[in-house]
Amino acid sequence: MQFLPLEQLNIDEKILKILKDRGIEKLNPVQTEAINKGLLKDERLLVTSPTGSGKTLIAELGIISHLLNKGGKAIYITPLRALTSEKFSELKVWEKLGYKVGMTSGDYDTDDAWLKNYDIIISTYEKIDSLWRRNPSWLKEVDYFVLDEFHYLNDPHRGPVVESVAVRIRYKNLLALSATIQNYEEISKWLNATPVTTDWRPVPLKEGVIIPEKKSSYKVIFSNNESINIKGNDAILAYVNYVLQHGGQVLVFRNSRKIAESTARKIASNMGLFKMDKELEKISNEIKEVDDAGTTEKEDLAELVRSGVAYHHAGLSKGLRDIIEKYFIQRKIKVIVATPTLAAGVNLPARSVIVGDIYRFNRQILGFNEEIPIMEYKQMAGRAGRPGFDKEGEAIIVVRNKSEADRVFKKYILSPPEPIESKLGNEASFYTFILGIVSSEGRVTSDEVEDYAMGTLLDKDIVKSYLKKGLNWLRDNEFIAGDDDLVLTKFGKRVADLYINPFTAKTFKDYLTRNEKSCNVAYLHLCAYTPDGPRVSVSRNEMYDLVDLSPCPLFIEEPDDEDEFYNYVSALKVGMIINDWIEEVDEDIILGRYGIGSGDLRSIIDTMDWLTYSGFNISRVLDLKEHAEAFYILNLRVKDGIKEELIDLVKVPGIGRKRARLLFENNIKKPEDIIMNVDKVKSLLGSRLGEKVAKDAARIIAGNA
């Protein structure tokens, strides 16, 4: 394996200094091969290598060398907002060379004109896809694209968007980065890129299984034929203890939130030696002070971290997740028990990874009986081994017996991940793709749309079949007009700009055009029932109780199909959650009443904010004035979780639902009242905040004058 000293690189001295200031003296084998394959000369590359092998630095060198040599702008694209924030922090270092680094994600109904002043932009695939539809002038200046975590092309949910973005830039300056891709030759050919592929890792990885051997003991067998025997009554607890005794940290992956939480509690109860640690006590107190989390969550985690243990999943608030990640990186929290989302979301290595389950829940066949993909296991295992701390990382899978161990070894440890395939092969994804092409081009012939579609990874016969059906469907439902020359209708343009699924738009259109105005729950249920709506699990007890609790007739009739009825009730549960939210029900009560976490609530609010805004715009473009009015008020209330009477107050920065209610109950009901009662506002909110709020209120009034 070749390591390349920085001095041998033909790059600007200022770049060398920045790299050396970061402690980088030489490039590792992956980075060296990328250089040898033309990274600094704008060669199009597909780099596939394990997690933690330094792919971000490859992207940085590619971006900076391009900007220095050619000018223009560069975009670094990630699949997740958490990764976008992480990469933004890392790339900010290049502002030392005078380049401005910006970040954008979310809020799809804008062209982000302010980015014209930035040189390096970090964003998500969805945001870039939405920007292409609006065609801002600054986007034409971007001539270098980094496609990070490119194996997300295989993800059923995000894959279609990743592919849509890749299709547009297959002939531009491109650098795709990915974990190991089995069919990298096929994918690199599709991207018109040179493959750079290696299994090199900065910390070697041992993979194995843990098997019950005899009473109170387990055997760990690794792929290199090493084995160890450990004692204990539970495989996970036994291996956690083993790692901690040898000075390591552990990531445990479980297949559900409840199991992750209960496993964390079991581990914590077994770790009395950390109970009196003063630093852990400080972390516990910090958790109690988090603003965006429910009381029960905070109390539970505050107790756990006293033992050096935490759980981590999407149900937790961002504030809680940030604290857990921060102190795990600082090695103060020793064990995290997580759901698999953590494996893809953030760079959080540990010496040892324990994969507690190779099965996940499948509602269609009712149970934890669907085996996870190999790629998902590889993502989890890839977190094992901390550069600078560990000589090697260990990833083990918990199995029940020897026969299962043999099968698991063969499938997950000795086999490569599944080949990457197109995920555009369904109506919703493909029709969205066509709509996006017509939107970004403005006017396009059906032959040009076919050229774009033939540039996807889909089988060409499937493309032809979907293309004909898709164009007819989009015409029939008034998204596009024209036979050979295709343009968006006014309705189609608004849908494309909103970045909603065309089937979501059709759902809005179908139900709103044939129904009169109804109550808030009916509108919220309609939003949640669309293909873009948030999904929540529904227990058997809730199935019919929720239907009985609906305060008014819904726009949508109860379906007869069992699966569709589940979706119907799930949407109703979301509607009830948001209705409680806008009626200012206390957050702790909402979390307890519906069995959700604060992270779930925030995610539901964000999605329903977008969908009520979309409902308003769809109603307006269809000239449905009463529905537009209802959606407009609803959208203003959803974002902050307020009754209608507080809408004016929350327009003032720094005033949320709780402060607005406090002011309202003290007869301060609009921004003008704040200006007229500054001393009273200061006494209610505190002197410093009250002063700031008064100034912001004055600015709002002046802006409306």
Give the whole-angstrom CA distance, residue 252 versus residue 55. 25
Of residues 507, 504, 427, the one with CA closest to residue 467: 427
- Residue 45 corresponds to which amino acid? L
Instruction: Return the structure tokens found at 215.
Output: 């009473």
Give the whole-angstrom CA distance, residue 337 versus residue 327. 14
Residue 249 annotated as binding site: no
Residue with token string 């990274």: 39
* Three-state secondary structure call for residue 420: coil
Distances (CA, A) of 187 to 46, 47, 190, 458: 8, 11, 5, 12
Give the whole-angstrom CA distance, residue 412 versus residue 416. 8
**E strands in 128-216:** 142-147, 173-178, 194-197, 205-212
Of residues 230, 236, 233, the one with CA closest to residue 268: 236
Beta carbons of 542 and 573 less than 8 angstroms apart: yes
User: How much is the CA Rg of the chain, to the nearest whole Å?
Assistant: 27
Give the whole-angstrom CA distance, residue 347 versus residue 333. 15
Distances (CA, A) of 546 to 559, 568, 574: 15, 10, 10
Torsion of CA 338, 341, 347, 348, to 10 degrees: 10
Instruction: Return the structure tokens found at 560.
Output: 């007869």
Give the whole-angstrom CA distance, residue 693 versus residue 472. 54
Instruction: Kindly give, in sequence order, each residue whose CB lies less than 8 Å from that of residue 329, ignoring residues fewer than 6 positions away.
Output: 348
Distance of CA 363 to the CA centre of its chain: 23
Beta carbons of 457 and 162 less than 8 angstroms apart: no
Instruction: Kindly give, in sequence order, each residue whose CB lies less than 8 Å from that of residue 245, ignoring residues fewer than 6 positions away.
Output: none
Torsion of CA 377, 380, 381, 385, to 10 degrees: 170
Give the whole-angstrom CA distance, residue 269 versus residue 286. 21
Of residues 364, 322, 352, the one with CA closest to residue 207: 352
Give the whole-angstrom CA distance, residue 522 versus residue 577. 13
Beta carbons of 232 and 217 less than 8 angstroms apart: yes
Distances (CA, A) of 540 to 314, 537, 594: 23, 10, 13
- Residue 9 corresponds to which amino acid? L
Question: Residues within the annotated binding site for ATP?
Answer: 31
